[in-house]
Amino acid sequence: MKKQILAMAFIVLLASCGDSGEKKDESKTAETTETKPVADPSSNPDYQKGLDLISKSDCLTCHKPTEKLIGPAYQDVANKYENTQANITMLAEKIIKGGTGVWGQVAMLPHPQISQADAEQMVKYVLLLKSN
């Protein structure tokens, strides 16, 4: 019985992380808000604000800054999407609505309790992790 409960919990955990089903590549849309990666992103005010919000959420259950876990590494997301307001808005909506498909078939559950502003702040942090 305990094995079944553990197996079910693991399946729910896997199902709770992932990415949106949108397959559109919007990495080249809109005006760039930051043209180059910052050598030390922690000096950017968006870095600490976003990190604080992420650490208070369940994001780190499925994501790590530089390594793929259940979902993609934040650095991989930053490398895929240009730092534009359009992409910040789109990725924030993915955090709130959840989905699957862009990074594989493991679903990321919706996070409707996260406000659009907080989700955008989280995305700004993630996009600062772009590798040089």
Per residue in 71-112, pLDDT (tens digit) is 999 999 999 999 999 999 999 999 999 988 889 888 999 999
Report angle CA 76, 77, 82 to the nearest 5 degrees: 115
Using alpha carbons, list the distances in angstroms from residue 58 to 17, 28, 36, 40: 9, 29, 29, 25
In this prediction, residues 38-42 reach a mean pLDDT of 73
Q: How far apart are the first and last CA of the chain?
A: 49
Residue 115 in this model has a pLDDT that exceeds 60: yes
pTM above 0.85? no
Task: Note whether 71 and 17 are within 8 A (CB).
Answer: yes
Report angle CA 20, 25, 29 to the nearest 5 degrees: 120
Q: Which residue matches tokens 């990074």?
A: 103
Q: Which of 101, 92, 86, 98 is nearest to 125 (CA)?
A: 92
Select the more confidently predicted residue: 49 or 104: 49
